[in-house]
Amino acid sequence: MNELSERLAEIAETSGPDGSVDAPAAIAKGRRVRRRRRWTAALAAAGITAAVAVPIAQAARPDDVDRPRVVEPVKYPNVLVEMAEFGWLPQGYARTRIASGTPGGGTFEVSAGRGPGGGGVTLTLLRPGLELGAPMLPGARRGTLTRAEPVNGRRADWLIKPGDPGSRQIPAEFRFRYRDDAWAKLQITDARIADVPTVRRIAEGVRFGGTGPARFPVRVKGLPEGLKVWRAWVEDGAGNATFMLAGPGRGELMISVGPSTEVSRRQAERDANTTLDGHPAFDTDRPHDGPKGDPATAAAGRILNIYDAEGIDVRLNVRGAELLNRLEKTGGLTGLYHRITFLGPDESTWTTTPLG
């Protein structure tokens, strides 16, 4: 689990990954480099825009007709709890993304921007007891904390105050206690709103203590027992969702689903080495032009990317022999793909129990 934590911490803390990364780069040589690139490449499909709502699961089969439905307990309740929300944002800004298990000790993260997938404002709740010190500045220089007026009666500090050293890279970064033993960090990357009154107003308006589960535009059935949701995120208005799960024997499973884009269609033309249900796909079990990886571990993982399946991209990535064997009992990644249903961009149809 520590190894997985270290790898997740290496993932860039951006709200929208770059869809132009080559899928085959996920299996680049070098054990540490290979793993980092695999996660980054697989995550690259998550930053995609809205499209017409179309389910990607197979249509009901004849043997499903009139079959009695059995209500089963939810395997993975509360995949992502909405622990905080913005009470005030600058004009034109709206929430664009929420996430759990963020790198650097975050338990919950909410971002806002101008339009789906956009950023500019990010609030991160740190786990209780974790200290948040001054940031590193360009030139490997340690910054300094600048005490600020309390926020809602609790201590607050500037990590990077607008106009101070470091603000050319990150226009503003502010920490404040949201409970006696835990910090919240507010980062502003849009210089147009990085002024002291605006940052303070955003911080003072945050509402904490939410317990409601987040809604997701996807439903995944038939996951193996015993997995732990390590990280999850969903984008408002875009219909993109990603789940990262930890399994036995340091196993790892990533599921990413969202509407196709022109970028991902070009990637399919470049990378696809097979088809699945008539849709272009990249499968590391098939011959491909990418690096083949370490022969000693190559058999203990698989990447399967399906492009433009009725307008939807699906990215699946599994690592670890034990978890791979468990998946194979239910059809492997191909079987898992057939048990995924995209619910469309209409958030009224989304579900709070996406994994089962």
Same domain? For 219 and 345 the reply is yes
Q: Is residue 7 a part of any domain in this protein?
A: yes
Strand partners, 150: none
Q: Is residue 246 a part of any domain in this protein?
A: yes
CATH of the domain at 325: 3.30.200.100
Q: Is residue 29 a part of any domain in this protein?
A: yes
Q: Is residue 118 a part of any domain in this protein?
A: yes
Least confident of 27-41, 167-181, 271-285: 27-41
- DSSP strand pairing (279-283 vs 301-309): antiparallel
pLDDT category, 74, cuts 50, 70, 90? low
Number of domains observed in the structure of the chain: 2
pLDDT category, 41, cuts 50, 70, 90? very low
Among 208, 227, 256, the domain-final residue is 208
Q: Is residue 355 a part of any domain in this protein?
A: no
Same domain? For 131 and 228 the reply is no
User: For the purposes of burial, counting CB atoms within 10 Å of the CB of 98, is it exposed (0-12), middle (13-18) or buried (19 or more)?
Assistant: buried
Same domain? For 128 and 201 the reply is yes
Same domain? For 121 and 105 the reply is yes
Residues 6+ apart with CB under 8 A from 276: 283, 304, 306, 309, 334, 337
pLDDT at 33: 39
pLDDT at 22: 39
Kindly report the three-state secondary structure assignment for every residue of the chain.
CHHHHHHHHHCCCCCCCCCCCCHHHHHCCCHHHHHHHHHHHHHHHHCCCCCCCCCCCCCCCHHHCCCCCCCCCCCCCCCCECCEECCCCCCCCEEEEEEECCCCCEEEEEEEECCCCCCEEEEEEECCCCCCCCCEECCCEECCCEEEEEECCEEEEEEECCCCCCCCCCCEEEEEEEECCEEEEEEECCHHHCCHHHHHHHHHHCEECCCCECCECEEECCCCCCCEEEEEEEECCCCCEEEEEEEHHHEEEEEEEEECCHHHHHHHHHHCCEEECCEEEEECCCCCCCCCCCCCCHHHEEEEEEEEECCEEEEEEEECHHHHHHHHCCCHHHHHHHCEEECCCCHHHCECCCEC
Same domain? For 262 and 341 the reply is yes
Same domain? For 71 and 89 the reply is no
Range of the domain at 102: 84-208
Least confident of 64-73, 171-180, 290-299, 323-332: 64-73
pLDDT tens string 83-103:
999 999 999 999 999 999 887
pLDDT at 56: 55
Q: Is residue 93 a part of any domain in this protein?
A: yes
Angle at which helices 31-43 and 2-10 cross, to 10°: 60
Residues 6+ apart with CB under 8 A from 148: 156, 157, 158, 174, 176, 200
pTM here is 0.77
How far is the C-alpha of 254 from the C-alpha of 232, rounded, in Å? 10
Q: Is residue 354 a part of any domain in this protein?
A: no
CATH of the domain at 182: 3.40.1000
Residue 189 has pLDDT above 90, yes or no: yes
Same domain? For 218 and 345 the reply is yes
pLDDT at 235: 94
Residue 327 has pLDDT above 60, yes or no: yes
Q: Choose between 328 and 115: higher pLDDT.
A: 328
pLDDT at 331: 94
pLDDT category, 160, cuts 50, 70, 90? very high
pLDDT at 245: 96
Least confident of 79-83, 133-137, 203-207, 350-354: 133-137
Residue 203 has pLDDT above 80, yes or no: yes
Same domain? For 145 and 240 the reply is no
